[in-house]
Structure 1
Amino acid sequence: MVNEPGAGDDTITVILEEASSAGTARDRLDQWARHEDPEVRRAVAENPSTRTDSLVALSKDDDKRVRAAVAAHTVAPARVLEELAFDEEWSVRAAAAGNTALDEFSLSEAARDDDVRVRRRAASNPGLSLDDLDRVSEDDDVRIRVAAAAHEGASETILSRLSEDSEWQVRAAVGESAAAAMVLLRTLATDEDWRVRMAVATNAATPAEVREALLLDGDEGVRVAAARHGSQA
């Protein structure tokens, strides 16, 4: 491991700042990628200017935080992301699952991961296929269903099913969705839970007549939200 190449009086704070800066010369980043401090290596792994060769090397780092940073990098090589998507550490797999550059097969596998934190990141990835999104929308964990309801690619069928979910958080996510059909928004505007009605009130896609009805809601917060967002429409 390299310690302080060519900069004997550099403090770790200065090194971290340099390793984090997109303006740092790539040769310098290559050097910091071999630094003995994992925080410095992680900073390099997060730097958008880091060379591919350094990212490849850092993807095999002993420190899971460094590998996770590589897994989340926007220009990490496809083969590196594929490997990190099956890393032994959940945090690394989750970082890969949230990367929009992850290939379809690896993302599909991430959506089936045993760890809910990995599945949640996969469920929020805009690259998730409609078939996988349909499957995760029936996940046992409410957090996954919320992510599915909030997904920009959620179909009318998925949103319709989730609008009847037993958990208010899921129904609220549907109520906030720009893709929710008007019939769903009308129905959710009368939901028994005020937080669901609040979500509908704040949705820019909510029909004017529904928002007007929410101005008379029994919950003050819902009425205020409907008035505020109605004035912005």
Structure 2
Amino acid sequence: MLDDNDFALASAVDTSVVVLEELSLHPQPEVRHAVARNPNTPTEVLLKLGKEFPDAITANPIFNLLLLENPESHFVRLSLARSTTTSESAIAQLSKIEDEEILCAVAGNPKTPLHILERFVVEGPPLFFDYETADESALDGLFTAIAQNPNTSELLLLQLDESGISNIEMAIAENPNAP
């Protein structure tokens, strides 16, 4: 059962940073979601909550200030890459950044267009390693995120299956588009 007091604390803009840090670990997702939307929550805590509540992070009033202050920060880019409210053009720009965590977030975002997912599989990610000779572990996270993405086509899932990366078979099998 949801503790109304914890939810109220997580939602209140005058809640201390220390309390918000504690509430970010709360067992109830509604409380953690309220912490993610609270403008008083520290960036480090928002970063930890970002994978679970990406849209709450970008809806947080403080996010717009962070975006204006430093649009190229890792936190801002990662939050945009994860959020389903990010525009297709912004996702396209993020898909060209040489950062594995951001690329995996783009690949896992259900709003990422299929042509970007296809580019990652066919051309490889824009990382500092040579795609043709890349270690399997370097591509594992990216290809798993693509395999889990509900936009991934049946054809692309088959290409992923033929890639030889063994760790993505379960993700492919769980995708609703899997043949």
Deviation at 1:186, TM superposition (A): 0.7
1:139 lines up with 2:73 in the alignment: yes
Deviation at 1:120, TM superposition (A): 4.5
Separation of aligned partners in 2, 1:170 and 1:213: 22
Kindly provide the CA deviation profile for residues 5-32 of structure 1, in whole angstroms up to 9, marking residues without a partner as x. Answer: xxxxxxxxxxxxxxxxx5xxxxxxxxxx
Equivalent of 1:165, from 78, 97, 104? 97
**Partner residue, 1:220:** 166
Describe the shift of the 1:230–1:219 C-alpha distance in structure 2 as closer, same or farther (beyond 3 A): farther
Unaligned runs of 5+ in 1: 1-21, 23-45, 49-54, 56-69
**Partner residue, 2:3:** 47
Say which SS state the counterpart of residue 117 (structure 1) adopts: helix
Contact 1:215–1:224, Cα closer than 8 Å, also in 2: no
Contact 2:36–2:46, Cα closer than 8 Å, also in 1: no
Separation of aligned partners in 1, 2:21 and 2:164: 43
Equivalent of 1:126, from 55, 65, 75? 55
**Partner residue, 2:14:** 83
**Partner residue, 2:127:** none
Kindly provide the CA deviation profile for residues 171-208 of structure 1, in whole angstroms up to 9, marking residues without a partner as x. Answer: 11211111111111111224342321221122221122
Q: Larger Cα Rg: Structure 1 or Structure 2?
A: 1
With the length of structure 2 as denominator, give the TM-score of the two structures.
0.61
**Partner residue, 2:140:** 194
Describe the shift of the 1:183–1:81 C-alpha distance in structure 2 as closer, same or farther (beyond 3 A): same
With the length of structure 1 as denominator, give the TM-score of the two structures.
0.50
Kindly provide the CA deviation profile for residues 35-74 of structure 1, in whole angstroms up to 9, marking residues without a partner as x. Answer: xxxxxxxxxxx624xxxxxx4xxxxxxxxxxxxxx3xx1x
**Partner residue, 1:116:** 44
Amino acid aligned to 1:170: I
Separation of aligned partners in 1, 2:81 and 2:173: 25
Separation of aligned partners in 1, 2:36 and 2:99: 32
Amino acid aligned to 1:83: D
Amino acid aligned to 1:179: K
Describe the shift of the 1:100–1:77 C-alpha distance in structure 2 as closer, same or farther (beyond 3 A): closer
Amino acid aligned to 1:99: A
1:183 lines up with 2:129 in the alignment: no
Kindly provide the CA deviation profile for residues 136-167 of structure 1, in whole angstroms up to 9, marking residues without a partner as x. Answer: 873235xx644432222222133222222322
**Partner residue, 2:106:** 174
Separation of aligned partners in 1, 2:77 and 2:170: 28
Separation of aligned partners in 2, 1:194 and 1:231: 20
Separation of aligned partners in 1, 2:24 and 2:158: 42
Describe the shift of the 1:132–1:92 C-alpha distance in structure 2 as closer, same or farther (beyond 3 A): farther
Contact 2:88–2:113, Cα closer than 8 Å, also in 1: yes
Contact 2:78–2:101, Cα closer than 8 Å, also in 1: yes
Separation of aligned partners in 1, 2:32 and 2:176: 37
